[in-house]
Amino acid sequence: MTDLYRLLPEEMEQLVIDMGYPRYRADQILLPLYYKFPKDINDIPQLPKKLREDLTKAGYTIGSAKEIHRVVSDDGDTTKLLLNLPDGTPVETVLIQYPSSKINGHPRSTICVSTQIGCAMGCVFCATGQMGFEKNIKAEEIVAQVIHFANILQQRGEHVTNLVFMGMGEPMANYDEMIRAVRILTHNRGFGIGQRNITISTIGIISGIDKLAEENLQVGLAISLHAPNNELRKKLVPTAGPNSVEDIIEAGRRYYKKTGRRVTFEYALMKGINDSPEIATELAILLKGNGSHVNLIPINPTAGNFNRPTQDNVNEFERILSDAGVNCTVRIEKGIEISAACGQLRTDIVG
């Protein structure tokens, strides 16, 4: 069985031609897929009955994610779903919304998608990392997460504005499927979201960063740094190499040079571990002048024994970086109380 959501528009076109139908039939499949969200091939009535039958006989299906559980934050801005993917695998996906700055504008609606079930990177402060690795998610299953929320938003008169590959798993460890999903979702005959509205996050898989730089995509890159030196980073990210900090910084420079897209370094602040003024100064020296952006994230509650720093410590950390000329912001976290924020996703917790 082949899910139609797996096919790039060019592949869809070749499929209908190979089946003996005119080229334009491909668009009669693609438009409903990405704007009407059919659950079955027979839900596309504009297709000739014979083509629908031929597609079904050839083993083509329309996969969709089935919602198992939904929880919404107190302010209504964050929705976390536990979805069953077409093969029955459960995965968590999150919608985060921010008010639009435009008059009568739609909210900015960001979908945080997952690329793996669990994660092999083992970050000690991340709930997903503590699950261990279970499996990679296929491109069509990544697309299914987006389509499910797109359908929900369409019913509200809203639409998906941004995608972040920051859900469960390490996107670069499922590189080929992740990139296929990105190309489907950004294709102007597919889902059609702008490349610049997508950010791909990585714990620092250098080969993936370098490959992404060669893809001719204008997507954002976020690298999870979390420490300014290798000794501390190794404690937080057990899979990190002996020179991971230097390797990551250099990979970020290469990415920026190749794409012209500024790199964001994600930094989870943990009380008493990596939030001191001395460490802030060390980080400032490391990043000063390289044109990157630092996203400071006070650690979110997980099963691990890590605490959020005080607001004063966060402010001081940000001040030290800013005074050194390092561009930085403190992330506005949403959905913490429903375990939908950064580092909190795992399929056995749905509350």
Tell me the pLDDT band of 346, cut-offs 50, 70 and 90. low
Phi-psi region of 238 (alpha: psi -120 to 50; beta: other; left: phi over 0): alpha
Q: What are the phi and psi torsion angles at 199 (to 5°)?
A: -125, 130
Q: Is residue 278 part of a domain?
A: yes
Point out the domain boundary residue: 41, 61, 81: 61
Q: Is residue 350 part of a domain?
A: no
Q: Are 316 and 329 part of one and the same domain?
A: yes
Q: How far is CA 346 from the centre of its chain?
A: 15
CA-nearest of 244, 263, 239, 267 to 252 is 263
Reply yes or no on whether the pLDDT at 278 is more than 90: yes
Q: What is the DSSP letter of 4?
A: G
Q: Are 256 and 155 part of one and the same domain?
A: yes
Q: Is residue 26 part of a domain?
A: yes
CA-nearest of 70, 30, 38, 34 to 159 is 34
Query: CB within 8 A of 290, min separation 6: which ones?
Result: 249, 252, 253
Q: Are 246 and 171 part of one and the same domain?
A: yes
Residues 268, 232: contact at Cβ < 8 Å? Answer: no
Query: CB within 8 A of 54, min separation 6: which ones?
Result: 19
Q: Is residue 346 part of a domain?
A: no
Q: What is the pLDDT of residue 15?
A: 98
pLDDT, mean of residues 298-315: 83
Overall domain count for the chain: 2
Partnered with residue 266 across adjacent β-strands are: 224, 295
Point out the domain boundary residue: 61, 86, 109: 61
Q: What are the phi and psi torsion angles at 97 (to 5°)?
A: -120, 145
pLDDT, mean of residues 143-155: 96
CA angle (159, 161, 165) in 5-degree steps: 120
CATH number at residue 9: 1.10.150.530
3-state secondary structure 50-94: HHHHHHHHCCEECCCCEEEEEEECCCCCEEEEEEECCCCCEEEEE
Point out the domain boundary residue: 61, 81, 106: 61
Q: Are 124 and 261 part of one and the same domain?
A: yes
Q: Are 44 and 185 part of one and the same domain?
A: no
pLDDT, mean of residues 66-75: 92
What percentage of the chain has pLDDT greater than the value 70? 92
Considering 13, 53, 92, 250, which one is annotated as catalytic?
92
Q: Are 290 and 154 part of one and the same domain?
A: yes
Q: Is residue 348 part of a domain?
A: no
Q: Give the chain's radius of gyration (CA, Å).
A: 21
Rounded CA-CA distance 56/190 in Å is: 21
Over residues 203-227, the pLDDT tens digits come to 999 999 999 999 999 999 999 999 9
Q: Are 227 and 244 part of one and the same domain?
A: yes
Reply yes or no on whether the pLDDT at 230 is more than 70: yes
Any idea which residue has 């000329």 for tokens?
325
Rounded CA-CA distance 102/78 in Å is: 20
Reply yes or no on whether the pLDDT at 83 is more than 50: yes
Q: What is the pLDDT of residue 105?
A: 73
Q: Is residue 138 part of a domain?
A: yes
Tell me the pLDDT band of 349, cut-offs 50, 70 and 90. very low
Reply yes or no on whether the pLDDT at 191 is more than 90: yes
What percentage of the chain has pLDDT greater than the value 90? 80
Reply yes or no on whether the pLDDT at 127 is more than 60: yes
Mean of the per-residue pLDDT values of the chain: 91
Q: What is the pLDDT of residue 304?
A: 65
Q: Is residue 103 part of a domain?
A: yes
Over residues 325-340, the pLDDT tens digits come to 999 999 876 655 555 4
Element (H, E) at 190: none
**Tokens read off for 200:** 């791909």
Q: What is the pLDDT of residue 296?
A: 95
Reply yes or no on whether the pLDDT at 344 is more than 70: no
Whether residue 123 lies in the annotated active site: no
Q: Are 309 and 328 part of one and the same domain?
A: yes
Q: Is residue 74 part of a domain?
A: yes
Whether residue 214 lies in the annotated active site: no
Q: Are 15 and 148 part of one and the same domain?
A: no
pLDDT, mean of residues 242-264: 96
Q: Are 138 and 259 part of one and the same domain?
A: yes
Q: What is the pLDDT of residue 350?
A: 40
H helices then E strands: how many in the chain? 11, 14
- Higher pLDDT residue, 128 or 183? 183
Residues 256, 262: contact at Cβ < 8 Å? Answer: yes
Tell me the pLDDT band of 146, cut-offs 50, 70 and 90. very high
Query: CB within 8 A of 325, min separation 6: which ones?
Result: 288, 289
Rounded CA-CA distance 234/222 in Å is: 19
**Tokens read off for 347:** 């399929």
Q: What is the pLDDT of residue 342?
A: 55
Reply yes or no on whether the pLDDT at 351 is more than 50: no
For helices 277-287 and 311-323, angle between their N-to-C axes, nearest 10 degrees:
30
Q: What is the pLDDT of residue 51?
A: 98
Q: Are 82 and 207 part of one and the same domain?
A: yes
Rounded CA-CA distance 251/189 in Å is: 32
Tell me the pLDDT band of 76, cut-offs 50, 70 and 90. confident
- Higher pLDDT residue, 59 or 351? 59
Q: Are 309 and 322 part of one and the same domain?
A: yes
What residue numbers bound the domain in which 46 lies?
2-61
CATH number at residue 274: 3.20.20.70
- 28-32, 78-82, 339-343: the lowest-pLDDT one: 339-343
